[in-house]
Structure 1
Amino acid sequence: MFGRDIGIDLGTANVLIHIKGQGIVLDEPAVVAIEKDSKQVMAVGEEAFRMVGRTPGNIVAIRPMKDGVIADFDHTEAMLKHFLTKVNAKSMISKPRILICCPTNITSVEQKAIIEAAEKSGSKNVFIEEEPKVAAIGAGMDIFQPSGNMVVDIGGGTTDIAVLSMGSIVTASSIKIAGDQFDHEILNYIKKQYKLLIGERTAEMVKKEVATVAPGGRENDMDIRGRDMVSGLPRTITISSGEIYESLTESVSHIVQAAKNVLERTPPELSADIIDRGVIITGGGALLHGMDGLLTEELKVPVITAEEPMHCVANGTGILLENLDRISKKKVKI
């Protein structure tokens, strides 16, 4: 088989790979487990994620992406190589073309780092596209018409908000508050309130099962286990949705404010379109209970959660790959 086109959603929390003609072929956590002394990679993705918080002292599970950008270049490259080998991207006669997504406000240096990592992992041509634009396309928006579309993409490391028209971003904002921050708020709340230490995975479970951002929107309880900070022994506590609501209020208010700021900078004609069409939320954060209702209330426009919000960016890369030859792309020269 000759060159294949590959779309990569290189997220802070997860990496998704879309191969043209096949759809999404990989969806794994962006985690690398390394041996401390030799710096040797022990495991990548799902296997490494299972090790988070459960490894002996000489093995550490790290996330090479932070806030949507590369925090650890070598391990990002190793992770990409591993995933591309896993989906058989290298068994082709010619190297694949890769379309990769990044947050809206990253610097040209950070863009170059992403492209370099993709090229070193075995690509012929690397194209970069902004995440909210790709998320909007993947959510089914027709952003190539002369009308306003607004998307709020709440990922792991960043929340990207954009108003799009004629295939381009009109106004946008990217803030470093998203799913990871919610996990930290939950973790810190339980630490402060109950003097109990829990791991990131437990915090994430609480976010999915119990958390809500709508007052009184959910009345779930959950037993969680951790280590008592006073006795040092394991302990179980029960937490409720109401408590978690309190702990997330501040973080969520930053996302609401960022969305308001984008709307305030939007030309009036496009604002009128957004009132008619509504706002679409994508990314893992879109699944946080009550998020659509809260944004609807605060922004005074209808807010809808996309179908399969976590797959929107990867699906969007697939649609753009179909038109890769036709649509002019930003290719960053190194």
Structure 2
Amino acid sequence: MFSKDIGIDLGTATIRIYVKGRGIVINEPAVVAIDKNTKKNIAFGQQAYEMIGRTSENIKVLYPMQYGFIADFELACAMLSHFLNQILGKSLLSRPRIVICCPAHTTRVEQNVIRQVVELSGGKQISIKIEPKVAAIGAGIDSSQPAGHMIIDIGAGTTDATVLSMGDIVSFETTNTAGKAFDEQIIQHIKKHHHMYVGERTAEQVKKDIGLVLPSDEKPRAIAIHGRDLGTGFPKTLMITAEEINKALHPPIRKIVHTAKTVVEKTPPELVTDIMDHGIILIGGGALLPGIDTLLSEELNAPVFIAKNPLTCIAIGTSILLEKKGTTPIHYTMS
């Protein structure tokens, strides 16, 4: 028998679940496919994600989470129940103890919604933790001391910039400009300049393959993408360059820079000095965009480092919290 202690990172685009003694056992898209005629859920996670843009109009693929918050209560319950059942099977009857994270700006009402979703999905003793604090733990940062540490989390729905000291949040700023905004910007760029429509999966792949934040001196890379010609409606193939994508991503990147600068401006001078010494840590999928660390370092006049595990920092942080708790029961808290 393995422990029933579970840590959950329920993100806008991805759900990651850690089980004590087993590691991260779920790392899948946070999506649900439903049949619009029967109203039944027919697929979850990667299986549902593969259906985006590839099914009839009767099948709709939805994200229960929007901008880091639960947007569809019933779908969130169904998705979490599915994955917990997948992990625990019949042993779910002995309901697990769960640590789950929420954004720093989550209200008390929104935290209660999270608690209800986890309870209805099979959770028993629930601890709700604030994401930047957990991410710091997962990134190996000791923020319990009287010194400033800054984390920028560029996720799918939001970018959150946080300064921590003495285990608490000193300053915080968020923007709804993040990974999905990058994808939408790519879609709109291709539509405007090439009169071709591509779906969100194609845009996301373009971002991963040739997305970059700073112009490169290297020979521009290019990839072939497929979409629909807006004039004829027929299939169309286009070669698109990294230089183009760099220009398309410029507006959302500037918003992220502004968000980070705002946090620094709100931070006490002593802690800003600490940040200059310790550097700024980048986490989230957006941290993997080539050049984002260099640009932020230039704009903020401070060292910027990408975490060793930028995609799994929060899930790893929950695992450390669970390991520290050992067999001690977890009580419902908001911290």
TM (norm. structure 2) is 0.95
- Indicate conservation of the 8 Å contact 2:3/2:19, yes or no: no
Unpaired segments ≥5 residues, structure 1: none
- Indicate conservation of the 8 Å contact 2:125/2:331, yes or no: no
Query: How many residue pairs end up in the alignment?
Result: 332
Deviation (angstroms), 1:94? 3.1
Is it true that 1:331 corresponds to 2:333 in the alignment? yes
How many angstroms apart in 1 are the aligned matches of 2:19 and 2:325?
A: 13
How many angstroms apart in 2 are the aligned matches of 1:183 and 1:112?
A: 31
Paired position in structure 2 for 1:41: 41
Alignment of 1:213-232 (within 5 A): 213-216=213-216, 219-232=220-233
Change (3 A) 1:124 1:212: same
Deviation (angstroms), 1:21? 2.2
Paired position in structure 2 for 1:51: 51
Across the aligned residues of Structure 1 and Structure 2, the Cα RMSD in angstroms comes to 1.8
- Indicate conservation of the 8 Å contact 1:150/1:280, yes or no: yes
User: Which ranges of 4 or more aligned residues in structure 1 deviate by more than 4 Å?
Assistant: 325-330
Is it true that 1:206 corresponds to 2:201 in the alignment? no
TM (norm. structure 1) is 0.95
Unpaired segments ≥5 residues, structure 2: none
How many angstroms apart in 2 are the aligned matches of 1:217 and 1:316?
A: 38
Change (3 A) 1:217 1:300: farther
Alignment of 1:253-292 (within 5 A): 253-292=254-293
Deviation (angstroms), 1:90? 5.6
Change (3 A) 1:71 1:90: farther
- Indicate conservation of the 8 Å contact 1:280/1:304, yes or no: yes
- Indicate conservation of the 8 Å contact 1:19/1:25, yes or no: yes
Q: Which is further off, 262-271 or 11-20? A: 262-271
Change (3 A) 1:186 1:329: farther
- Indicate conservation of the 8 Å contact 2:150/2:280, yes or no: yes
Deviation (angstroms), 1:215? 2.2
- Indicate conservation of the 8 Å contact 2:7/2:315, yes or no: yes
How many angstroms apart in 2 are the aligned matches of 1:217 and 1:116?
A: 52
Change (3 A) 1:18 1:89: farther
- Indicate conservation of the 8 Å contact 1:3/1:95, yes or no: no
Paired position in structure 1 for 2:237: 236
Deviation (angstroms), 1:226? 0.1
Change (3 A) 1:201 1:86: same
Q: Which is further off, 105-114 or 89-98? A: 89-98
- Indicate conservation of the 8 Å contact 1:100/1:128, yes or no: yes
